[in-house]
Amino acid sequence: MKVPRVEIRIEECKGCHLCIAACPKKVLESSGCLNNQGYIYAKYKGDGCIGCGICFYSCPEPGAIKVFKKEN
Amino acid sequence: MSNILEKPKSFYTDFTRKGSADVITTHYCPGCGHGILHKMIAEAISELGIQDRTVFISPVGCSVFAYYYFDTGNVQVAHGRAPAAGTGVKRALPNSIVISYQGDGDLAAIGTAEIIHSANRGEAMTMFFVNNAIYGMTGGQMAPTSIIGQKTTTSPYGRKAENEGYPIKVSELISQLDAPVYVERVSLADVASRNKARTVVRKAIQNQIDGKGFSFVEVLAACPSGLKKTPLETNEWVKNTLHTIFPLGCYKDETATRTPRFAPAINPTSDQVLTALNLKDDHSDYKASVDKKNFIDQNVKIAGFGGQGVLSAGTTLSVLAMYENLEVSWIPSYGPEMRGGTSNCNVRLSNKRIGSPLVENPNILIAMNGPSLEKFESAVRPGGTIIVNSSIIDAKVSRKDVKTYYVPVTGIATEMGVPAAQGVAALAAYLAATNVIPVEKLEHVVHKSLKRKELADKNIAIIRKVAEYITKGMEDNKKCLTGF
């Protein structure tokens, strides 16, 4: 799998979209789709993540975002 | 450093304590500051390697359920009392890392006294204060930190200084005290603030590891539901409004100059305890007779009405057990009346350290009056023993899975001319019936609870009479295994 990249666990996202606003590369966006809980979850555009982790620390949910940084 | 940023290991894998079908997300609303701060704290706990000695003090408010998430020790405390409970934990377990976590209603309203005094004592704890300028959990009422003009459900025309006072600036207040080591206000409203907050969270916890003393972090956070805005709007509001009223920054930092201070574990020897209780002299010629290794825990509840000697029977039993080198706890529960009213005490005897002094399910119930038997009979553990004061209680124990002894303790004590000794008589009945500690040993300590020492002989006579009553009853009545 490509690194760096970000994974958003759809069922843990509550649709606050703080990650979307925080991402410096603007590679996160609203999916426009509802998850099972009824939230419009965020998603990764699939390209352009730099692995900075800013979205991870913007997200109030413990496990909704996982960031894979570049190997040292 | 790992190349993956993910849920910190100090969180539970699944949040099964929530008790709902969803065990993967928190109970917090979308965009809530608590979740962000929880993540920073959990990450610091994991990376500093202190998970197994961290005790989280959860408050009242939205973060009351912190114990759903943090896989650490936890005490959920009464409203506003986190710093007081945290003080107890830290002093009893000096090696623990105590993280006290409170919101603005909890810390700055009902808990003002506790936070100020714990700060003033410089308790070596890490305090997190989440300030979102509103009561979130209860539905958006005005908080002590709500700003002038802020409309809330309880200040519908906006907060007015002349009516409700000014927003309390807690970091500024705390930083004026001598004892605190580190006081800083951070925010979660934007990326730069969050980066700063992570560093500050870690420093405040590291200070405790280093024995530096009281570290206080105020965190300006978003409560979108309470403020009735979207998460992004709320963060904008925090940034544009709260930041101006509660300026971010370090208010006090003496981390570098403070000498680390580690309190010694409070673990007094038996001798020290006996000396403190003025029991040392009597102890020197006492020969312990209990086989401590095989001792079975005694969780005793002695209940009756005030004036029956219920509480002093408990202390007498405790002293006796201390002489026997057992671990002991005694805690009373009584009304405001000096005599009359209900009264009971919980006594625990063990060969191991006792965690909680409470006795919810006694294996020994000493019921001195009717209401006590009625109230506690069902709580006795199967296989337990009930001593019924048959002078007063006409009712019979209905349970078949306990041993019951009907002993007219009030009658025996009164007959011997010392009605006040009925508690001691009941104690004698318990010891004679169970032989947990030989009943004659009670004679060595009975004078300890007597104000009138000249009654010691009569008390001893009462103990012997009760012991005889039990022994005779056992001989007369072969049903002794189910009591008599």
Instruction: Check residue B265 and give its pLDDT.
Output: 63
- What pLDDT is attached to residue B216? 98
- Tell me which CATH code domain B270-482 carries: 3.40.920.10
pLDDT at B92: 86
Domains of chain A: 5-68 (3.30.70.20)
* Mean pLDDT within B185-209: 98
What average pLDDT does this structure show over B393-403? 93
Does the structure show a pLDDT above 90 at A12?
Answer: yes
Instruction: List the single range of A36-50, A58-72, B62-76, B435-449 with lowest mean pLDDT.
Output: B435-449
Query: Is any Cβ of chain B less than 8 angstroms from the Cβ of A55?
Result: no
Share of chain B above pLDDT 70, in %: 96
Cα(B395)–Cα(B442) distance, rounded to whole angstroms?
A: 29
**Do B270-482 and B16-253 fall under one CATH topology?**
no
Nearest to B231 among A3, A16, A70 (CB): A16
Residue B482 pLDDT more than 50? no
**CA-based end-to-end distance of chain B:** 70
Mean pLDDT to the nearest integer, B136-144 = 94
pLDDT at B245 over 70: yes
Nearest CA in chain A to B12: A62
* Interhelix angle B310-323/B422-434, nearest 10 degrees: 50
The single-letter code of the amino acid at B52 is D
Q: What are B18-73's pLDDT values in tens digits?
A: 998 899 999 999 999 999 999 999 999 999 999 999 999 999 999 999 999 999 99
B306-347, pLDDT tens digit by residue? 888 899 999 999 999 999 999 999 999 877 766 667 889 999
What pLDDT, on the 0 to 100 scale, is given for residue B266? 66
Interface mutation target, options A58, A67, A68, A70, chain B, most CBs of B under 10 Å: A58
Tell me the pLDDT band of A72, cut-offs 50, 70 and 90: low
Check residue B255 and report its DSSP letter.
T
**pLDDT for the residue B30:** 96
Comparison of pLDDT for A3 and B347, the residue scoring more? B347
Residue corresponding to tokens 């006072």? B165
Give tens-digit pLDDT for B401-456: 999 999 999 999 999 999 989 999 999 999 999 999 999 999 988 887 777 778 88
One-character DSSP codes across B1-58: --SEE-S-TTB-SS-GGG-SS--SS-SSPTT-HHHHHHHHHHHHHHHTT-GGGEEEEE
Cβ-Cβ contacts under 8 Å between A and B: the total is 90
Nearest-CB residue to A14 (from B7, B30, B39) = B30
Quote the mean pLDDT of chain B. Answer: 92
Confidence of residue B388 (pLDDT cuts 50, 70, 90): very high
Contacts of B382 (CB under 8 A, 6+ apart): B401, B402
Contacts of A22 in chain B (CB under 8 A): 190-191
Instruction: Domain ranges for chain B, please list them.
Output: 16-253, 270-482
Tell me which DSSP letter residue B383 carries. T
pLDDT of residue B249: 98
Q: What pLDDT score was predicted for residue B480? A: 42
Give the Cα separation of B339 and B308 in Å (integer). 8
Is B271:B264 a contact under the CB 8 Å cutoff? Answer: no
Check CB contact under 8 Å for A59 and B69. no
Chain B contact for A72, CB < 8 A? yes
> B350 to chain A, minimum CA–CA distance in Å?
42
List pLDDT tens digits, range B216-244: 999 999 999 999 999 999 999 999 999 99
The rounded distance, in Å, linking the Cα atoms of B177 and B169 is 14
Residue B337 pLDDT = 67
What is the model's pLDDT at position B1? 60
- Residue B481 pLDDT class (50, 70, 90 cuts): very low
Contacting residues of B for A15, CB less than 8 Å apart = 30
Q: Shortest CA distance to B33 belongs to which of B234, B203, B185, B247?
A: B234
Residue B483 has a pLDDT of 46
B123 is written with which tokens?
């308790």
> Across-strand partners of B54?
B97
> In this model, does residue B348 exceed pLDDT 90?
yes
Nearest to A14 by CA among A33, A30, A32, A38: A38
* Fold assignment, B16-253: Rossmann fold (3.40.50)
Task: Report whether B151 contacts B158 (CB < 8 A).
Answer: yes
Of A12, A58, A66, which is closest to B25 when you measure between CB atoms? A12
Strand order in the sheet with A5-8: A5-8, A65-68, B4-5
* The pLDDT of residue B2: 78
Q: Report the pLDDT value the prediction gives residue B132, as an integer from 0 to 100.
A: 97
Q: Given this model, what pLDDT does residue B286 score?
A: 83
Interface confidence, given as ipTM, is 0.97
